[in-house]
Amino acid sequence: MRHVFNFLQSTVGRKYLMALTGLVLVFFVLGHMLGNLQIFLGAEAINAYAYKLHKLLPASALWFIRLFLLICIAIHVWTAVTLTLDNRKARPQGYQKKQAIQATYSSRTMRMSGIILLSFIFFHIAHFTVRSVPGMKYNEPGVISKKVDASNDFIPTEVPLVKKGEAVFKNGQKIMTFNVHDMMIAGFKSKLVSLFYIVATGLLCLHLTHGVSSMFQSLGIRNSFWRVRLDRVALVYGWTIFLGFAVIPIATLVGILRADPSGGLIANAQVHQQEDITHKLFTQEVTLK
């Protein structure tokens, strides 16, 4: 135990923890982004994805993953806070004139981006996971949840799970699932919320452009040859994550993404209709010629 304590006390050991938890979170955001992007495949796809995440995994596994991620965030933040305090103490009197020689903007602003990101994570979990941000339209009929007659409780609006344009049946009953698609779109309809999401993912990009390369250094697996390349990887990674996340609120605001209270049934019906029309047009054109 003494050794573990010793390791945790050292500046180098804490950086190890920061890098390892950072690595977990780096992969998590990538998975999260890829999951989110399925919204462009329609309500059918993203609702089925959410259904798989929540219903096919045992509840304990889901909670284990959530807990694990929260612990990673907690360790990441704890190391950041204690190291920052130590670092502040190491220079009680600053320079009257100080110039950064080469330090990048992202590396000098890790604390700022980190603190704003943390507050964003709290908001985000309250917004979309716990769904309890006051003033958000959770209770609009057909969007998120509807009012139960007697009590004041809300229950989530369920839509059928759709596969290939048809509702999925199990034991003669439609499988119902939560309409994640419309929850996201309803959330991003608010300009203020969307703006916060876009700014936060922008800061995430900033945080990652230093962090993704820096974590290799902290783990001792980087050299000058790899540094330039890892810096580039980090830059591309940061921008990919930013664009992948930010495109959803933007697409909602400009009206590319629209609510679909049927959970994909009607949209698919429309697509089928449209296919029919184009098919007809095409055949007509051929006959005209």
Partner 1 sequence: MNFTLRVWRQKDSVSRGELVEYKIQDVSEDSSFLEMLDILSENLVEDGKMPMAFDYDCREGICGMCSLTIDGIPHGPESGTTACQLHMRHFKDGQTITIEPWRAKPFPVVKDLIVDRSPLDKIIQSGGFITTRAGSATDANTHLIDKGTADYAMDAAACIGCGACVAACPNASAMLFTSAKVAHMNSLPQGKPEKHRRALAMVSTMDGEGFGGCTNIGECEAACPKNISLDVIAHLNRDYAIAQVKNFFKPSA
**Coil, strand, or helix at residue 200?**
helix
- How many Cα neighbours within 13 Å face the side chain of 161? 15
Which amino acid belongs to residue 137? Answer: K
Which residues share a beta bridge with 264? none
Residue 102 Cβ vs partner 1, minimum distance, rounded to whole Å: 5
- Rounded Cα distance between 78 and 14, Å, is 9
Task: Specify the residue, 106 or 268, whose C-beta has the smaller distance to partner 1.
Answer: 106
Query: How wide is the angle at C-alpha 48 spanned by C-alphas 43 and 49, nearest 5°?
Result: 105
The letter for the amino acid at 239 is W
Task: Rank residues 205 and 259 by Cβ distance to partner 1 and give the closer one.
Answer: 205
| Burial per residue of 35-65, b for 16 or more beta-carbon CB atoms within 10 angstroms, e otherwise | ebebbeebbbbbbbbbbeeeeeeeeeeeeee
DSSP 231: H
Contact footprint for partner 1 (CB under 8 A): 3-4, 6-7, 9-16, 83, 86-104, 107-108, 110, 210, 213-214, 216-224, 227
Q: What's the rounded Cα separation, in Å, for the pair 70 and 76?
A: 10
> Quick one: 103 or 130, whose CB is closer to partner 1?
103
Residue closer to partner 1, measured from CB, 141 or 220: 220
106 neighbors 210 (Cβ within 8 angstroms): yes
Does residue 163 contact residue 47 with C-beta atoms inside 8 Å? no
Q: How far is the CB of 32 from partner 1 (least distance, A)?
A: 25
The distance of closest approach from Cβ of residue 68 to partner 1 in the complex, given in angstroms and rounded to an integer, is: 22
Determine whether 264 is exposed, middle or buried from the number of CB atoms within 10 Å of its CB (0-12, 13-18, 19+): buried
Q: Measured from the CB atom, is 11 or 139 closer to partner 1?
A: 11
φ/ψ of residue 142, rounded to 5: 80, -5
CB of 30 to partner 1, least distance (A): 22
**Closest CB to partner 1 among residues 26, 69:** 26
CB of 97 to partner 1, least distance (A): 4
* Per-residue DSSP letter, 126: I
Q: Of 224 and 287, which has the nearer Cβ to partner 1?
A: 224
* Least separation in angstroms between CB 224 and partner 1: 6
Sign of the alpha-carbon torsion through 129, 133, 139, 143: negative
Q: How far is the CB of 121 from partner 1 (least distance, A)?
A: 21
Shortest reach from residue 4's CB to partner 1, in Å = 8
Nearer to partner 1, 12 or 59 (CB): 12
Per the CB < 8 A criterion, the answer to whether 69 and 28 are in contact is yes
